[in-house]
Structure 1
Amino acid sequence: MKPLLSALRLPMHRELAVLALACALLQAAAATALGLPSGRLAAALLLQALLLASVARLWPDAARPLGPANAVTLARAALVAVIASALGHGEGGAQPATGLAVLAGIALLLDGVDGQVARRLRCASAFGARLDMEIDAFLMLVLCALLWQLDKAGAWVLAIGGMRYAFVAAMPLWRWLDAPLPDSFRRKLVCVWQVLTLLLCMLPVVTPAIAAPLLALSLALLGASFALDIAWLYRNRPR
C-alpha cells in the first residue's frame, strides 16, 4: 500500500489515477449508449488499463505531469477501446453500425482537439505525438475489421489498417525505414481520405456495392502514398 501511495505523490501518477476513473466512466456511458453487454465493457476497460500502464512505464519523467493534450488523447483512446470491444458483438455479426460510426467520429474530432490544445498551451511533445499516431492507427485497423465483419468488403480491407503495422514491422530488417519523413500535404490528404471513407462505409445506408469500390480506392491511394515515402527513404538512406 505504501509504494502505491508514494507513487501517487508524483504528478504523472496522480493524473493517470484521475484519468483512469474519468475514462472508465466515459467508456461505461459509451457502451451503454451502444447497447453493449457488460463483458464488452470489461474488454474496453482492460484495453484502456493496458494503455495507461504503458503510458506510466514509457513516460520519460514521472515528476512531470502528462498535460491536458495527452489527457484528451487518452480520453479519445477510451472511446477507441469501446469501438474495438464491439468486434464480434451481435447476432449474425450485425453491429450497431450507426452508433459505432458516431463514436468513431467523436474520437476523430477529439484528434483535432488534442493537437489544438497542445499548440495553444505549448505542451506538445514527441511522446504525445507518437501516442496520438498510435491511437489513430489502431482506430483505422479496428474500423477495417468492423467493415469486414459487416460484409462491406472482403478480408483485403484489413490491408488499409494493417499497412502501417507492416511498415513498422519491416523496420528491423531495413533500418533506413525508421528515418524521419519530411512533412507532406499528400500524406495528410490521403490520411483524411482514409478516415472519411471508413466512417462513411460504416453507415448502414452505404451498401457493399458502394463500399467495396470506395475502400478499394482508399487502399490504392494509401499503397501509392506508402510507396512514395518508401522510395524517398531509400534514396536518402545512409550510404
Structure 2
Amino acid sequence: MSTLEPPTSGRPYLRHFRLPVQEGSEERAQSRERRLIKSTLTTLSAIYLVSIAAFIVLAERLATGPDAVVASALTLLVIFALVVHALPGHDHARFGPANIITAIRAAMVSFFGAAMFFGNLSETIELYALVILVVSALALDGVDGHLARRTRLQSALGTRFDMEVDAFLILLLSVAAFLLGKAGIWVLAIGSMRYGFVLAQLGLPFLKAPLPPSFRRKVICVIQVAALCVLLLPIIAPPVSTAVAAIALLLITYSFGVDIVHLARRRHRPS
C-alpha cells in the first residue's frame, strides 16, 4: 500500500528526457533509455487495449451505457500519458511487473469512477459489483510493492504511480459516499486531503520536503479505502455510515497533521 505523501526522489536527471546518469558511457545510457521507452509503450498499449475490452464487457453487464466506456478509456489514457511523461523517474531499462500491476489497478479505478457517474447507483447488484472491483484493486495494491522489491525495480516513478492511483481511488470513493447519501458533503474532505496538501505546497514550500517512511501512513491509507468501501454497501446507512466516515476523516486529518507539524519543525532546525 502506498503512502499519501510527496515524492521523495532527489536524484539529478538530465535536462532532457533520459535516464539518470550512472556509470557507463553516454551510448549505454541512451540504449537503456530506448529500451525503457519501448518496454513502457508496449506494456501500456497492451494493458490499454485489454482494459477497453474489459470496460465494454463490464458496461454491458452493469448496464452503465457507452458513456462509462468512453469516460473510463479517456481517464486511463490520461493516466498512462502522465506515466510516460514521468519516465525519467524510473532508472531501469524495463517498465517492470510492479508498475504493470499498478497500471491494471489504474484501469480498475478508472472504470469505477466512470460507473459511479454514469451508472445507476441505486441498483444493489451494481453497487456490490463495484465494491468487488474496488476490493480487487485494493488487494492488488499489496502486490506491487512486494514485486518492486523482489525484482529490484523500485523507483521514484513506481512509488509516485502507486501513490497517485491510491489517492485517486480515495477521492472517487468519497464522492460516491456523498452521492449515495452516506454522509454530508464534508465526506469529500477525505478524498481532497491529498490534493489540498499538494496545493498548499505552492504557498508553503517547506511542505515539499521528503518525509521518512511511516507505517502509520500505510495503515491509515488502508483504513481509508476499507472504510469508504464499507460505505458503498447498501446495508450501511446513516447514522452508522456517518460515524464510519467521520472516523475515517479524523484519522486522515491526524495523519496529515502529524506530517505537517514534522515538516514545519524541521524547517527551523539548523542544517
Alignment of 1:20-35 (within 5 A): 20-35=48-63
Superposition deviation, residue 238 in structure 1: 5.5
Q: Which residue of 1 aligns with 2:133?
A: 103
For residue 65 of structure 1, the aligned residue among 78, 90, 94 is: 94
**TM-score, length basis structure 1:** 0.89
Between the aligned partners of 2:188 and 2:92, the Cα distance in structure 1 is 40
Matched, 1:222 2:239: no
CA contact (8 A) 2:67 2:118 kept: no
Q: Which amino acid aligns with 1:58?
A: A
Cα pair distance change 1:225/1:37, threshold 3 Å: same
Q: Which residue of 1 aligns with 2:47?
A: 19
Worse overlay, 8-17 or 116-125: 8-17
Cα pair distance change 1:188/1:16, threshold 3 Å: closer
CA contact (8 A) 2:35 2:94 kept: no
For residue 109 of structure 2, the aligned residue among 80, 94, 110 is: 80
Over the aligned positions, Cα root-mean-square deviation in angstroms equals 2.3
Superposition deviation, residue 10 in structure 1: 2.7
Superposition deviation, residue 183 in structure 1: 2.0
Cα pair distance change 1:63/1:70, threshold 3 Å: closer
Q: Which amino acid aligns with 1:83?
A: F
Between the aligned partners of 1:27 and 1:59, the Cα distance in structure 2 is 26
Alignment of 1:24-173 (within 5 A): 24-60=52-88, 64-90=93-119, 94=122, 96-173=126-203
Give the percent of matched residue pairs that are identical in Structure 1 and Structure 2: 40
**TM-score, length basis structure 2:** 0.79
Secondary structure in 2 aligned to 1:181? coil
Matched, 1:213 2:243: yes
CA contact (8 A) 1:12 1:62 kept: no
CA contact (8 A) 1:152 1:201 kept: yes
Worse overlay, 223-232 or 57-66: 57-66
Q: Gaps spanning 5+ residues in structure 2: where?
A: 1-33
Q: Which amino acid aligns with 2:191?
A: G
Cα pair distance change 1:7/1:183, threshold 3 Å: closer
Between the aligned partners of 2:36 and 2:195, the Cα distance in structure 1 is 34
Superposition deviation, residue 79 in structure 1: 0.5
Between the aligned partners of 2:219 and 2:79, the Cα distance in structure 1 is 28
Q: Which amino acid aligns with 1:231?
A: V
Between the aligned partners of 1:67 and 1:207, the Cα distance in structure 2 is 42
Q: Which amino acid aligns with 2:107?
A: A
Superposed CA deviations along residues 49-88 of structure 1, whole A, max 9, x for unmatched, are: 1111222222127993211111110110000000110233
Superposition deviation, residue 103 in structure 1: 0.5
Task: Give the number of equivalent residue pairs.
Answer: 233
Q: Gaps spanning 5+ residues in structure 1: where?
A: 1-5
Between the aligned partners of 2:256 and 2:37, the Cα distance in structure 1 is 44
Superposition deviation, residue 13 in structure 1: 2.1
Cα pair distance change 1:148/1:174, threshold 3 Å: same
Superposed CA deviations along residues 116-174 of structure 1, whole A, max 9, x for unmatched, are: 21122111111011000000000000001011111111111000010110001010111
